[in-house]
Amino acid sequence: MHEKQLVGEAAANLVENNMVVGLGSGSTVFYTLKKLGYLVEKGLQIRGVATSKTTAKLARELKIPLVDLGAVDYIDVAIDGADEMDPNFNLIKGGGGALLREKMVAKAAKRMVIIADSSKNVEKLGEFLLPVEVIPFGWEMTARHIQRLGGIFNLRVTSDNKPYVTDNKNYILDCDFNFITTPAQLEVSLNMLPGVVENGLFVNVPTDVITILNEKVKLFENIKTL
């Protein structure tokens, strides 16, 4: 059993009966969904809030009941992956393009559990490009604003070289800010730019992280969120 499966299934074991569960996106969450599908088949009663159309499709295939985010007052526990994670519980997310919905679900959750294999642990954020979701109208102007903040951008495109379109009908600019030393400041600065919808910096968002340390599954609590 490889690391993604180990941490993904460990997160599923945190889910209890009658919970509203935020269902993240990505290859690690796939294993969480598979385990939750098995538990639902065995009698676990939950409602899931999907962060992407891809996640919603898989959840339905696994017979996991779904509910819209706006139909609940809060989420008991959200489970999602990360592209990068630093020692201060700051993340870069959005490699799969679902960063806006992922952040909305994360902020609605009482408990936010990030699952990540050991390759996602970094000392400083920035080895992975930072996704920034922007509206299509005048995206070039928005990109120039981002450049003034020090970011080198690339418009995300599909295999046929057309702009990648998110579930929210927006574009994504993948931005290189080198190593990000002040993620909280950059998160706010980006979101203040006209045309920016959201960015992939998740600063001090997780309450818990499940990862692999010394070849063992470990759960770390973020004491700053207690």
Q: Cβ of 221: how many Cβ atoms within 10 Å?
A: 12
DSSP state of 114: E
- Whether residue 28 is annotated as binding a ligand: the answer is yes
User: Is 102 a catalytic site residue?
Assistant: yes
**Angle ∠(206,207,208) on CA atoms, nearest 5:** 90
| Residue 88: predicted pLDDT | 96
- Whether residue 27 is annotated as binding a ligand: the answer is yes
Active-site residue among 3, 9, 84, 102?
102
CA distances in angstroms from 21 to 5, 46, 76, 78, 87, listed in the order given: 19, 7, 6, 5, 26
Domains within the chain, CATH numbers bracketed: 3-121+203-225 (3.40.50.1360), 130-200 (3.30.70.260)
| Residue 224: predicted pLDDT | 81
- Whether residue 81 is annotated as binding a ligand: the answer is yes
What is the side-by-side order of every strand in the sheet holding 91-92? 84-85, 91-92, 201-202
- Whether residue 120 is annotated as binding a ligand: the answer is yes
| Residue 69: predicted pLDDT | 99
What six digits make up the tokens of 30?
Answer: 């796939």
Which among 201, 169, 196 is positioned nearest to 182, based on CA atoms?
A: 201
| Residue 16: predicted pLDDT | 98
What parts of the chain have a pLDDT lower than 50? none
Question: How many Å apart are CA 47 and CA 114, to the nearest integer?
Answer: 19
